[in-house]
Amino acid sequence: MNKIEDKMDAIVALCKRRGFVFQGSEIYGGLAGTWDYGPLGEALKWNVQSVWLRRFVWGKGNMFKVNAAILMNQKVWQASGHAAGFADPLVECKKCKHRFRADQITAADSEKGKCPDCGGELGAQRQFNMMFETHVGAVQDASSISYLRPETAQGMFVNFKNILDTEHPRLPFGMAQIGKAFRNEIAPRDFLFRSREFEQMEIEYFVDPKDWEKSFEYFRAEMNAFMSDIGLSATRIHELEVPESDRAHYSRRTIDFEYDFPFGRKELYGLAYRGDFDLKQHSEFSKVDLSYYDEEKKERFVPHCIEPSFGLDRSVLAILCDAYTEDDMGGDKRIYLKLHPSVAPYKVAVFPLLRNKPELVKKAEEVFATIQKDIPMTDYDDNGNVGKRYRRQDEIGTPFCVTIDFETIEKGNGVTVRDRDSGKQERVAEGELLKYLKDKVKG
């Protein structure tokens, strides 16, 4: 497979065929920039979240996970700078009325001022605010305006004082949140890469201003470790030091973690040093004191903030692109997902060799029940011949298939465990099976 479109088309087709991701509102012709996750996509996504929580939140005494409302007081977005400045440059064709992000049309087209679709004349560039506006309550006036949040971050800054008052943490400490964000992208594209409704996993880590670099470097290393946890190839990841002219208004330093997607090297995650911008802005706009009192130093100050920000859907896309593999096995072309066990929707699948032999089925059901108690994402399949079942599981990235055959029953000679990537099988004693699998799939 050489063409970029071929690989993306193959991934999109696999996602639909196997129930990872569907087009949003598909039966009505879709809604651009929205995607619906099916059972396997949802499982993969949940696995990414749980790897993230394990690395960044669970077991860390100083990390507080919250779940803030999506709709917030409009003043939040005035304070954050989004109401005035969260905009992309937009140009519209005077002839066909198609709209483009000015920085995404080719240099040749934009130089000539011509529409890439119909060759018509492009209008003047203007700023287009990407926040989805709505009204809260029955009256629609300026005071009832609210927005679907364009980032999860602000839900944490506005709860900073609540965490201080309830958890009494000492610096450094962090707030973490996983949730939906919405951006009215001018040109949603590249499958899950740029959508209008997506999920973020974000951390706002509050530090003493003089210690910011230490925490920044800590998260830089942890973000790389997380990408390895979810199985992304290190050779496809590149750090980009974002120059001041390209940084968001709140950022004093940003590193983008870029990934080599089939359609080019693009931002996967970002790590920003937001200084005291957000807490100071919210203090000023809300008139609530958002400073911190250091008991040891007897000093009051506004903490600075380090923000590791992760797109959950972009993670899923990068994982799928990294894992998508075509090879020949036993003389047949095979498509499979070489997923890291930590993110694979099913870790194990259990089969009876034949579905019409009650003794095989009974044993397979027994083995399935035992494994499933400890490895909940275990599948059971007795449909079609065993070769086809292997291929079906390969295609969704299940790392191990356990087959109960006549040797299991007649000779008590254990079960076969097949490895997805090599296709090799080994016999494992029934009594050792659970430990064997747990060692292999622990993420």
Residues lying near ligand GAP in the complex (CB under 6 A) are found at 151, 153, 183, 185, 194-195, 198, 200, 202, 267-270, 307, 309, 311, 313-314
d(CA 400, CA 45): 20
Best CA proximity match to 404, nearest among 416, 386, 393: 416
Kindly provide the b/e burial profile for residues 89-126, where b requires at least 16 CB atoms within 10 angstroms of the residue's own CB.
ebbbbeeeeeebbbeebeeebbeeebbeeeebebeeee
305: number of Cβ within 10 Å = 28
Residue 397, by phi and psi: left (phi above 0), alpha (psi -120 to 50) or beta?
left
| Closer of 150 and 397 to ligand GAP (Cβ) | 150
Q: Are 178 and 199 in contact (CB under 8 A)?
A: yes
**What is the closest distance, in whole angstroms, from the C-beta atom of residue 166 to ligand GAP in the complex?**
23
Q: How far is the CB of 102 from ligand GAP (least distance, A)?
A: 17
For every residue of 240-287, DSSP letters joined together read EE--GGGS-TT-SEEEEEEEEETTEEEEEEEEEEEETHHHHHHHHHH-
Sheet of 304-311: strands edge to edge? 63-65, 173-182, 197-207, 304-311, 264-275, 253-261, 237-241
Are the C-beta atoms of 231 and 340 separated by less than 8 Å?
yes
The H or E element containing residue 154 is: helix 153-157
Choice between 34 and 233, CB closer to ligand GAP: 34
Q: How far is the CB of 193 from ligand GAP (least distance, A)?
A: 6
CB of 287 to ligand GAP, least distance (A): 24
From the CB of 209, what's the least distance to ligand GAP, in Å? Answer: 20
Of the two residues 174 and 311, which places its CB atom closer to ligand GAP in the complex?
A: 311
Nearer to ligand GAP, 198 or 390 (CB): 198
Indicate the residue among 154 and 408 with the shorter CB distance to ligand GAP. 154
Of 272 and 417, the one with the shorter C-beta distance to ligand GAP is 272
Number of H helices, E strands in the chain: 14, 23
275 token code pair: 């200084």
Task: Tell me which residue has its CB nearest to ligand GAP.
Answer: 311
CA 142 to chain centre: 35
Q: In degrees rounded to 5, what are phi and psi of residue 18?
A: -105, 5
Smallest separation, CB 266 to ligand GAP (Å): 9
**Shortest distance, CB of residue 87 to ligand GAP, whole angstroms?**
13
Report the SS3 class of residue 133: strand
Is the Cβ of residue 175 or residue 396 nearer to ligand GAP in the bound state? Answer: 175
Least distance (Å) between residue 409 CB and ligand GAP: 50
Q: 31 vs 361, which CB is nearer to ligand GAP?
A: 31
Distance from first CA to last CA of the chain, Å, rounded?
30
Minimum CB–partner distance for residue 151 and ligand GAP (Å): 4
Q: Is the CB of 27 or the CB of 221 nearer to ligand GAP?
A: 221
**Residue 272 bridge partners (DSSP):** 254, 307
The DSSP output letter for 383 is: S
Smaller CB separation from ligand GAP, 310 or 346: 310
Q: Are 409 and 360 in contact (CB under 8 A)?
A: yes
Report the nearest approach of ligand GAP to the CB of residue 314 (Å): 4
Taking the mean position of all CA atoms in its chain, how far away is CA 86?
A: 22
Smallest gap from Cβ 198 to ligand GAP, in A, equals: 4
Q: Which class for 311: exposed (0-12), middle (13-18), buried (19 or more C-beta within 10 A)?
A: buried
Taking CA atoms, 421 is separated from 7, 375, 397, in Å, by 19, 20, 9
